[in-house]
Amino acid sequence: MVPNVNVTSADGILNVQPSGLMELSIGYAMVHGYISACVCMFGFLANIANIVVLTRPNMISSTNIILTWLAVADLFTMLDYFPFAMHFYIFKDSDLEFPKTRGYGWIIYLLFHASFSVVCHSAAIWLTITLATFRFICIWFPTTGRQHCSVPRAKQCVAVIICVIIVLCIPNIIINNFAPYNKNANTNRTHFDICYTISYRRGGAFDHVDMINKMIQATIFKIVPSILLTLLTVLLMTAMHTAYKKRMRLRNQGRREESDRHGEHNRTTGMLLAIVVLFFITELPQGILTILTLISDNFFYQVYLPLGDIFDIMALSNNAINFVLYCTMSRQFRVTFVATFCRFCPKKRPGWMPMKLVSSKTEQNGINSVTEQTHV
């Protein structure tokens, strides 16, 4: 998740040889906190707006139910990551390596963050897959699709996804631990400087739990979603192409109103396709690297961890950009957003109305005159 040069295990410090990739990650870590904090602040406001707009009575639909809970997962991700970025990056102790801290409360929070962030992010991934699946069913089965993808069924899918994700994240919660140590134990200083660092439980049953956790993270949370997102992307693009040809055929037949209705339908599909593609771009590289970490621990420490900050900022940006997609690609969302948040905006002050020019062709002496009329 984040770059580590030293990772503490139950047996002590596992030293990893520095590499060019680690040097690059350390350099980026100096600005990562500021960038991620800004993204989190924007994402916090954007996802609140998404939730408010998508829950308006005129916006209730199976698709918007899933989008609402996707916004909830993204919002919790932002709320969880912001204090993490502030303490461990922007205001970190200059003499401590990540993820060491002197605060007992902060190390407890770090343990919470290590598990909660995985729950939120994994839920967002599978909600996106559910969203794409619902849309595909509605397009390919226009007569029965709405019955299969009803609002109650969308709520059921959301509940099942959240419960299953929490259960699957239990191994990740079990293996995470923290270790206190004396920072000045090897010096001649007379006082003690107790710090804490996150660690992983090793030995016995914990090794099996760790392997199960890696398999779950690699397959269910990375590889399988990447494969499904790939298939759904291709299917949605095919469906959009078919719908576009149908729209052109309707327009050529003079059925413009029906053609415009199909056009709005296609724009919604295009918006959802953009969401799916963004998740695909974010998750596929992580899925491939996660599989490679099962082969070699050195690969995990030398490649996967140094890229942690880059993966984090990609995921955070993906979580924050949905509001922009909704505003640019959905007219209904824009109208509802303006009606919801701008109804208390000050209206124009009373006064003179602007002058209008009214053309009147009155022939007087063979000359056309234009009369100016003002209205109060």
Task: For residue 306, give the H/E element and its range.
Answer: none
Residue 357 phi/psi, 5° resolution?
A: -100, 120
Paired sense of beta strands 176-182 and 194-200, if any: antiparallel
Q: Which residues of the chain fall short of a pLDDT of 70? A: 1-19, 181-198, 200, 243-244, 246-247, 250-266, 297, 343-376
Look at residues 231, 216, 333 and name the one whose alpha carbon lies nearest to residue 273. Answer: 231
CB 320 within 8 A of CB 37: no
**How wide is the angle at C-alpha 219 spanned by C-alphas 209 and 159, nearest 5°?**
90
- Order of strands across the sheet that contains 6-9: 12-15, 6-9, 194-200, 176-182
Residue 217 phi/psi, 5° resolution?
A: -60, -40
Tokens encoding 29: 């870590």
- pLDDT value for 194: 58
Q: Where do the domains of the chain lie?
A: 6-333
Using DSSP's 3-state secondary structure scheme, residue 210 falls into helix
User: Within 13 A of 348's CA, how many CA atoms are on the CB side?
Assistant: 5
Using DSSP's 3-state secondary structure scheme, residue 39 falls into helix
Tokens encoding 103: 């605060």
- pLDDT value for 306: 83
Look at residues 119, 137, 67 and name the one whose alpha carbon lies nearest to residue 322. Answer: 67
Task: Look at the block and give the residue holding tokens 């739990």.
Answer: 209
CB count within 10 Å of CB 303 equals 16
Q: Characterise 366 by phi-psi region: left (phi > 0), alpha (psi -120 to 50), beta (else).
A: left
- pLDDT value for 345: 58
Residues in Cβ contact with 34 at an 8 Å cutoff, skipping those fewer than 6 apart: 89, 90
pTM to 2 decimal places:
0.78
Task: For residue 7, give the H/E element and its range.
Answer: strand 6-9
Distances (CA, A) of 312 to 81, 89, 231, 270: 9, 13, 25, 26
First vs last Cα of the chain: how many Å apart?
65
Answer CATH for 6-333 from 1.10.1060.10, 1.20.1070.10, 1.20.1730.10, 1.10.1040.10: 1.20.1070.10
**Ranges assigned E (strand) in 277-352:** none
